[in-house]
Structures are given as structure tokens and as C-alpha cells.
Copies of this chain bind each other. A is one copy, B any other.
Amino acid sequence: MAITLVHFADVHIGVETYGRPNPETGLNTRVEDFVRCLEFLVDRAIEGEVDLAVFSGDAYHTSSPSPTYQREFAGQIRRLSRAGVPVVLVAGNHDTPGTFGRASSLDIFGTLEVEHTYVFTKPRLERVETCKGPVQIVGMPWPSRSWMLTREEYRKLLEEELVGKMEEAYARLLEGFARQLDPDIPSVLAAHVMVRGAGLSGSERGAVVGRDPSLLPSVLANSAFTYVALGHVHRHQDLNRGGRPPLVYPGSIERINFGEEEERKGFCLVRLEREEGETIFGPWRAEYDFVEVPARPFVTVEVEVGDSEPTDAIVDAVRERDLEGAVVRVLYRVREGKVLVDLGRVQRALRERGVWKVAGIVPQVERPERRPRAQISRELDLKEALRRYVESNPELKPLEEELVQYALRLEQELEE
């Protein structure tokens, strides 16, 4: 007999970059993309009659999502719970408020006591009953200072010591839970955390100041767990491939930016099976498949203009690529400072290829020596720092205003 579960993470409802308001629905079109992928996942979970759903954090892009975003995420989670599927919800860093006493964006499921939902905003071991029997869940939300350290520890420690202390506390806590597990019952560690050595997409948001705790794979790959369901890193990967237990990031369900261009997006369907015979491990083992969702493609068209007529070179490059329904940026490399490009012709060529959104058509100027890194010191204000950063990363130029706007909003949010 096998217990099946769907494992997903990093849903990030609220990412609006490259989208526009859809007058038919009132939703931003990029938010619709994210919801479509989540809906696809829930469809598959319900059709496949999974016994359990494990969500490893980052439901929303901000810790105070609008009622509209809550409707979209909660509506899909409710479909699972209505179908009788127990849903484990672990708070990620995006779901967690920065201040003591504030509620997480996932708390509403607990407050309203939604049947079949299990919210983890603090670490906890809970036995969850599924149709096919119990599963032991160790839920480890994002390691925030509020639950990892006492007030006294926090006061006494230096900034540099804090992260190390949190990592130690996390490992100790996990070891304690692992010892309490009943080996006759399958167990899942659901953790929103950074594992050392994981390949990042670059779209993960970390600490604003200082360093976030990160754990060694060996700390998490405790053989007391049948499966380790991770969240936080947007690129799908197994950090214990072939080993037991699997240590799996399913990755985000949609692309947040061009950092995720090359990645497949999806979720994991996991089977927890009871093995015959004796092994050095417990009687339960996990196997899983990665299932792709219909995420919107992001495509970078890079063009070496060389000695050709630049507009011709770009249009030719555009015509060679499959750009249907994609968010596209064109980066063309030219030798000298000024080159005249007929942007109208390029735009037309892009439209003919069925592009969904042009993120930018940006020259990359070759220089004999490498551009110096932007000089960013802590003393610069955020806006100025961002502008300087964009100066040394010209492919970001088309996004500059948006970047600054989002950054300032974020800063304001943090200050509040």
C-alpha cells in the first residue's frame, strides 16, 4: 500500500511584473498566470486522488496580501480540503511578518479552523490522518528570530553570532523531532529553509541585512524522515539524489523573473511505500516524479550584431526562436557606443512571433575592460543604490522604474 502526496512550494501570488490589469477579471495578467499553474496542480492532485498535500511555504509575494490574492490562493487550497485532502501549510519567509505578535498570511486557515488544514507558523510535530493511514509531519517554517531565539539570547549575541546560533538551534530542534518519530509510520519533514549548496534562481529573497541561516544537507537528510519536502529555492532539485530520504525543492510554480528562464516549473508527486524485508533504513521509502505546470515561458534573445545591419540581425534572431506566449527580452551586443536600431521593426517582428510581453530591447556594449561593479555602500539611500546598480547592469534598464518602485514599497513595508 502506498500513500501519495503532492508537494509544492513558492506559489508567490502577487508577482505582477510584466503583467497588466485584465479588465475582464480585475486581476493582473501575471497573477492569472500564477493562479493557472496552481489550479493545474490542484486539478492533478484531485484527479490523481492524492492522500495528502504538503505546501512548503511562500504562498504570497508579500506578508500582507490583498483580499483578492487571498481569494485566489485560499480558493485553490479550499478545493483540496473540500475534496477531503489534508493540506499541510508551512509559512515561508514571504508569509512571515517581521514583527513579534503579528499574524502570518497563512494564519487565517487556522483562525477559521478550515477542516483538513494544518498550519505551521511555529515548528511542530503533528500526526495527520489520511485516507490510507497516518503520516507524521514535522513542519519547520522559515527560521525567523522570533521563534528561534529567546529575547535574552537575541539581546546578548552579536550580529555575526546570531545566524550561527540559529543554525545550531534549528539542527537541535530537528534532531529532537526526529527522535520522537515512530518508525512504523511514514514521516515527512516540510521545511521552508535554505540548504547549503542548493542552486539558486536568483529570484529568492533573502535577508535584508546580514545573512540568513542555511543548513547542511546532512542535517536535513535524517534517515528518520521518509521524505523531505523543501521550499524557498525556486529551482527544482534534489540535494540527496539517489539517497534516502530525498531532499527535494519542487521549485516555484511560475517564473518570477529571467533568472528562472531555463528552469522547468512544477511540483512533485510523491509515493510513500512500505518495503518488504529488512533494510538499514526504516520500513518506509519515498519515490517521486516531477510534474511540469504550464508556466509562461521567459526567453532571452541574445544577438551578436557584429558587422551586420543591426536591425536586420536582431529581426533574423527573433525569427529563429519560438516566442509564442513568452515574456521576451532582446539583448544585442554591439562593439561601439551608438548604433541605430529600428525598434518599431523589432517590435513588429516580436509580435509576429506571438510574443506575450516585450520586457526590453537593450544594447550590451562591449568594452575592452570589464565595467567596474557598482559602488554601493550602506550609506546610499535605496533609490540611489538601485539606480547605480542598474547603470552597471544595462539589461535591467527597461525595468528600472518598476524596480525602484517595488523596492521603495518594500522598504516602506519593512519600516511599518
Contacts and interface: CB of A to CB of B under 8 A. Distances in A.
A66 interface: yes
A144 interface: no
Contact of A108 (B64, B74, B101): B74
Main SS at interface, chain A: loop
Interface stretch (A110-118, A329-337, A347-355, A370-378): A110-118
B67 A101 contact: no
A68 B82 contact: no
Given A64-B67, A103-B66, A75 B27 contact: no
B67 A112 contact: no
A415 to B, nearest CB: 12
Contacts of A105: 67
Interface residues of A, number: 32
A191 to B, nearest CB: 21
Interface of A: 22-23, 25-27, 63-68, 70-71, 74-75, 78, 82, 97, 99-105, 107-109, 111-114
A97 B67 contact: yes
A118 to B, nearest CB: 14
15 contacts: A22-B101, A25-B101, A26-B100, A26-B102, A65-B67, A67-B97, A67-B103, A68-B101, A68-B102, A68-B103, A71-B103, A71-B111, A74-B111, A75-B111, A78-B112
Among A97, A105, A107, A111, max chain B CB count under 10 A is at A111
A27 B100 CA distance: 9
Contacts of A78: 111-113
A111 B112 CA distance: 11
Contacts of A67: 63-65, 97, 102-105, 107-108
A26 B98 CA distance: 11
A67 B26 CA distance: 22
A108 B112 CA distance: 9
Contacts of A111: 70-71, 74-75, 78
B64 A101 contact: no
Nearest to A74: B111
Contacts of A102: 26, 66-68
A64 B63 contact: no
A26 B64 contact: no
Contacts of A70: 103, 107-108, 111
Given A63-B67, A107-B67, A112 B74 contact: yes
B66 A101 contact: no
